[in-house]
Structure formats: C-alpha cells, structure tokens
Amino acid sequence: MQTALLIEQILNGLQFGVMLFLMAAGLTLIFGVMGLINLAHGSLYMVGAFACAAVAAATGSFWLGLAASLVAAAAAGAIIEVSVIRRLYDRDHLDQVLATFALILIFSEGTRWIFGSFPLYLDIPPLLRGAVPLPGGSAYPAYRLAIIAVGIAVAIGLYLLISRTRLGMRIRAGESDREMIAALGVDIRTLYTVVFALGAALAGLAGALVGALQSVQVGMGEPVLILAFVVIVIGGIGSIKGALVGAVLVGLIDTLGRFLLPMALAGFMDASSAAGIGAALASMLIYVFMALVLAIRPQGLFSAQR
Amino acid sequence: MRKLLAAGVFALSASIAGAAFADPVKVGMITTLSGGGAGLGVDVRDGFMLAIKQSGNTEIEVVTEDDAMKPDLAVQIADKMLQSDKVDILTGIIWSNLAMAVVPNAVNQGTFYLSPNAGPSPLAGANCHANYFNVAWQNDNLHEAAGAYATSSGYKKVFIMAPNYPAGTDALTGFKRFYKGELAGEVYTKLGATDYAAEIAQIRASGADALFFFLPGGMGIAFMKQFAQSGVDLPVVGPAFSFSQDILGAVGDAALGVKNTSQWSKDIDNEANKAFVESFQAEYGRLPSLYASQGFDTANLILAAAAKASVKDKDAFRAALKAAEFTSVRGDFKFGPNHHPIQDIYVREVVKEGDVLTNKIVGVALEDHQDAYASECKM
C-alpha cells in the first residue's frame, strides 16, 4: 500500500508541476522575448477559468468552455498588449510591475462586476470522470492524468514551435537582439502581440483545466502567479526548458514535502504537533529550494540570458 | 443664579434629548470583500445592512472597508477607523488571524468589537475582554458538535484535516474534544491551498471509516470537488463553513448527503428566521448563508443595545450588549461569562430542493452549548 501511495503522490506532484508549467511557460516567454515582467499573467489565468465556467454553464459542454477559455484569454492578452503593455517595453521593470499590478486590480474588479463575488460552478467533463486503477491496488483520477497529458503535449508543441517554425525563429531572434530583427524588416510589434497572446492563451488553458478541480473565483490567479515566478527563477528566466524542469521540480518538492515531512516528524514527536510543524515546514520547502538553486547558479538552471 | 438656571435648562434638555433619541452610533465594518474569501464578507455585510435597513434607524452610520483577507491591511483600516473616523463599534472580521491582529488593540483602546464570525480561542479564554463580544460562536464550537456527531454515529477511525492557521488548530482541537474514537490521520494543509491531491491520497491510504474536514471558502469547494472525483467513498462530516449557502452552488452535487454542523439553518422554525430568510431573498435575490444570519444578528444586537443605552456611556452600553435582548434568527441565544454565545448546534444534511442545493436540519448535536475556554476568562 505504501508504494501505491508514493506512486500516487509522485503523479500528484507531476500534475501540479505540469499545471505550473503552463503558467510559467507564458510568463518566461514574455519575459525572455520582450523583457517584460507581467504581473497580470494570473489575471489571464482567471479569465480562462471564468470563460470556461460561463460557457460550460451556458452550453452544457466543458469542451466548448475549454475552447472559449483559450480564445478569451488570448483576446484579453492581445487587447492589453496593444492598449497598455506596448507602452511599457522601453520603461524599467518597476514601471512594468506598477502598471501590470494595476491591470490585476482592473481585471479582478471587472470580473466581480460581471460575475459577482460568489464562486462559479465548473465540473470536469463526464468523459474524464472517475479514477483509473494504478499498479499496487490504488487508483488515480482520470482528469488529473489528462492534465499531465495536456501539459506534456503543450511542452512538445512549444518545443517544436520555437525550434522548427518561422515564428519560433523570430521569437528566438527577438530574444537575442530585438533591434537587429527590427532592422531586418520583421514587424516586431505584431510579433510581440502574437507572443503575448500565445502566453495568455497558455495561462487561460491552465485556468480552465484547474478551474474544474478547484473553485472558479476572483483572485484565483495570484497564488499561482507567485509559484510561477518561483518556477521561472529556478528554471532560468526566458528558458522554456527551464520552465518545464523548474515546474516539475517545484510540483514534486511541494507535493512530496507536504506528504513526507509530517510523516518524518511523527517519528519523534506526537502526531498533532508533527502535523502542524510538518505542514509549516513543507510550505517553505520550495522557497528553500529556490534559495539553494540561486546560491549555486544565480542565473537559474537553464538560463537563456547571454 | 442665571448660571444655575442655564445649567438646569441644559441638563433638562439633554435628558429629554437622551430619552427621545439615542445618540448616533458609528459602526466600522472591516470585512473581506475581494479575493477568495469575498463571499463570506459580502454575506456578513448584506445580512448586517438588511437589519439596519429594516430597523429604519437613521442614527446608525456604517462605514465599510475591504480587508482583502490581509492582516496588515485590516490593522491599517482599524487604525484609520479608530483615529480619524472615530467609530464607536468595530465589527465584520471574517478570519481568525485578522481578528487576532485587530481586536486586542481595538478593545484596549475602549472601542467595542462585535464579532460576526471569527472566534479564536485566545479571545474566548486568557485574552478575553469586556469590550469584546462574539455573536457567532467560539471557533471550536461547530467542530465540537461535529465530533459529538461522529461519536454518536459510531465512527471508529476518522481522518481529520484543517488549514494551518489559528482557526484550523482550533477546529481539530474542538473535534477531538468530543470525538471518542481513534484517528486515522491528522493533517494540516496550507491556508488558501487549492490542490488537495496529496491529502486525498493520504486519506485513501489511511483506512479511515469517515472524514472530518474544516476548509472555509474556496478551499472547501476545491477539496470537495477533488474528493468526489478521487473515487474515495467515505462519509463526510464537517462544520457548516464548507457547505454554507454561498458556496454550495459552486461545489455542486459532490456535496449531496454530507452532514454538517451549524448554529443556524434556513429551516430553523421561528418567526424571526422565516422573516429573515424571506426578506433576504427579496432584497438580494439569493438564499442567505449562515454568515448572512450572523451579520443580521450582530446588527440587531447593536440596534437593541443602542435603543437601551447611549454608546457614549460605555458601561451602560456594555451591560445592554451583555443582556442580548434581541430576537436572534437562530432561536435561543445568550452570552456566557466570556461574552461568547451559549446556543444549540444542529446537524444538517446537504439536500437538493428543486434545482437548488441547500441544507436541512436532521438533528441536534449539542444543546445549550458553551465553549471550553470560558473558565480561563477573567474579567
């Protein structure tokens, strides 16, 4: 039974990590290509979740909701890129932080204005309900396995997009030297809008997928955003590979820490204090890990910086 | 002689004024109106304002501010309300960690604090204060009732779980106080966590025969949905917070059949409650939650006390609050020596009425229940 539990927890860590990757990939792409810190990335995640919940409630189909979440988040991303973000590329990071923080407040209050303060209902699609048996006699929710699959597919898709396509080539070029590719006649403005919308769509996808597991509510994006920043700092800013490795590491460390630390402490203290202290220590683990990584490799594990 | 006459006239007019109109009361409401916990604060506020509106009392002024569930922000707002708004009464805080940050300082400055929700154990016991009144419950109460219910239902191995913050520890302590069986496991989760896969795996592996959890607001929604999807099939007991009207819609059918403990339910059979449920629905177009009932009761307590004594005469006002001569929508209500309620706590079951998920009372868990900290309170 113990190995079954461990396998299940490793899958949980993987699933959490993959979800973080969807957030971190967009964040790191935008940071890497445009040099922009976008605090409103969590708001795009929320937009995705609300779009999915609203469309799923109206049509009765989760899949339509999922499609709507991609469209809505990409559209919201493109709109804020054109109207606000575009003016921030030449400013310093502090201005970007301030302006995108304002966007968080606008998105949150706007969503509250449209949908109200109470959480929305979004359930997983009937196709993915129930649990899949695992070796060792345990079972694992099919929906979470599907999230892992989607995350892996997105990782492969992004890899192919960036290494094999013309758009990817331009993204890589924009990362290295934006003046040069502008001078070579690439429409850098459109390129930035496309990259931003792509990052937003990934965040929206994460929001919709996770919305079915959690509650769809205003402010749901901010806790995830903090973790996504931890991921890209660990992985190396601007690196998709770093985001993937960092996200999976953070997911596994967080999940296994929450599970193993109280258990380890229970060996030499009473169950109740072990549970409390273990939980407190577990919530610090990923930050301790981040500090360790930064101490050894200040640029992160796979930095794309020159 | 003229002076004396003037003083006499003044005194007479003051006493007439005092008899005819109570002094205006300024209430500062600090509550959570944004972020994940907003539903709770909105319900407390709406319940509170409904009572003020129904009273027709124009002498009560309420200033409301959003603490965004952040202790530092709550402290800032409280300072502003005490120093520049000069409020007589503070109320509204939802979360125990925020209450611990705000309440001791406010009551020590001579302001009244009436809690419409949070009731952390220190404020009920060692750090109780004459100016602090709790109109909801002491944090342990509903969990104690859940423990008593688990015992009477014959569960032998319960898995228990709560977030790692003051109300979470109070919850598990409260449950264990009245639960006589053994524990299959005890887990603290991160406050605000939204993914419970790791905990559900532990529940599955623990061999428990029932599950007790306390996860307020969005945390409870996330957990219940994930628990229902996980294929773990155990009876679930919890305090009303994870099954209150404000979130049942978002949890969906996953909550059906769950037993939860509450001092209030919309089907408690008394006139005041029926009128409250009807007027709340008419005013806001939704069913009230227990938070709304607590806000409503808090406002009615203030109104009752203000009708009897001036808020400027602190001793008289305190005595009026303590007497609690208002009609509570939960039925019988009185304060114990530590200014926390002595009340019945019911067991409710989540049911479907038409298309709407709601709760129905199925029994009484604890009668005339008082908290365990009253004896530690010296005031």
Please spell the DSSP secondary structure of A1-46, one letter per residue: -HHHHHHHHHHHHHHHHHHHHHHHHHHHHHHHHH----TTHHHHHH
- Contact residues, chain A, for B205 at CB < 8 Å: 1-2, 4-5, 138
For residue A276, give its domain range. Answer: 22-133+140-296
Per-residue pLDDT at B18: 42
Task: Report yes or no on A6 lying in a domain.
Answer: no
Which stretches of chain A are DSSP H helices?
Answer: 2-34, 41-59, 62-83, 93-115, 142-164, 166-176, 178-183, 188-211, 221-235, 240-265, 271-296
Distance of alpha carbon A71 from alpha carbon A192, whole angstroms: 18
> Do residue B148 and residue B219 come from a single domain?
yes
- In a domain? residue A149: yes
* CB within 8 Å: B195 and A213: yes
Same domain, B187 and B252: yes
Say if residue A64's pLDDT is above 90. yes
What distance in Å separates the CA atoms of residue A53 and residue A118, rounded to the nearest whole number?
13
Domain shared by B91 and B54, yes or no: yes
Half-sphere exposure of A101 (CA within 13 A, CB side): 6
pLDDT tens figures, A74-132? 999 999 999 999 998 888 889 999 999 999 999 998 998 899 878 888 888 888 888 88
The pLDDT of A9-31, averaged and rounded, is: 92
* Residue B170 and residue B277 share a domain: no
pLDDT at A66: 95
In Å, how far is B198's CA from the nearest CA of chain A?
A: 6
Task: End-to-end CA distance of chain A: give it in Å, rounded.
Answer: 48
B277 touches chain A (CB under 8 A): no
B123 and B149 both lie in a single domain: no
User: Cα angle vertex A276, ends A270, A277, to 5°?
Assistant: 85
pLDDT in tens, A251-277: 999 999 988 888 888 888 887 888 888
* Residue A218 Cα distances to A40, A204, A206, B68, B93, angstroms: 13, 14, 15, 11, 19
Query: How far does the CA of residue A83 sit from the closest CA of chain B (Å)?
Result: 26
| Count of structural domains, chain A | 1
In a domain, A225, yes or no: yes
| pLDDT less than 70: residues of chain B | 1-22, 36
Residue A1 has pLDDT above 70, yes or no: no
Nearest CA in chain B to A116: B39
Cβ-Cβ contacts under 8 Å for B36 (sequence gap 6 or more): A215, A217, A218, A219, A220, B69, B192, B217, B218, B219
Name, of A48-62, A115-129, A232-246, the range with top average pLDDT. Answer: A48-62
Whether chain A has a CB inside 8 Å of the CB on B201: the answer is: yes
Residues B319, B219 share a domain: no
Residue A4 maps to a domain: no
CA distances for B3 relative to B7, B8, B11, B13, angstroms: 6, 8, 12, 15
Residue reference for tokens 């699959």: A149
Q: How far is A254 from chain B (nearest CA, A)?
A: 10
C-beta atoms of B195 and A16 within 8 A = yes
Assigned domain for B5 exists:
no
In a domain, B132, yes or no: yes
Enclosing domain of residue B201:
140-262+345-375
What total of structural domains would you count in chain B? 2
Cβ separation of A112 and B201 shorter than 8 Å?
no
Interface touch B222/A117, C-beta < 8 Å: no
Residue A210's pLDDT is what?
Answer: 92
Same domain, B244 and B147: yes
Gap between the Cα atoms of B184 and B175, Å rounded: 14
Q: Are residues B132 and B144 in the same domain?
A: no
Q: Does the beta-carbon distance from B35 to A4 stay under 8 Å?
A: no
Q: Do A210 and B194 touch (CB under 8 A)?
A: yes
Contact by Cβ (8 Å): B113, B298:
no
Q: Which amino acid belongs to residue B85?
A: D
For residue A91, being part of any structural domain is answered with yes
**Do B352 and B232 belong together in one domain?**
yes
- Assigned domain for A302 exists: no
Please indicate, yes or no, if residue A207 is contained in any of the structural domains. Answer: yes
Q: Do B231 and B124 sit in the same domain of this protein?
A: no
B120 within a domain of the structure (yes/no): yes
Nearest by CB to residue B36, choosing from A12, A217, A278, is A217
Nearest CA in chain B to A253: B198
Whether residue A306 lies inside any domain: the answer is no
Note whether residue B248 is domain-resident.
yes
Q: Kindly give the pairing relationship between strand A139-141 and strand B356-369.
A: unpaired
CA distances from A291 to A37, A297, B64, B247 (A): 20, 10, 41, 38
CB atoms A259 and B198 under 8 Å: yes
- Which residues in chain B touch residue A255, judged by CB atoms under 8 angstroms apart? 197-198
Determine, yes or no, domain membership for B82. yes
pTM of the model: 0.81
Question: What local confidence, expressed as pLDDT, does residue B14 receive?
Answer: 47
Mean pLDDT score of chain A, rounded to an integer? 89
Question: Any CB–CB contact under 8 A between B202 and chain A?
Answer: yes
| CATH code of the domain in which B303 resides | 3.40.50.2300
User: What is the C-alpha separation between A137 and B333, in angstroms, rounded?
Assistant: 51
B235/B166 same-domain check: yes
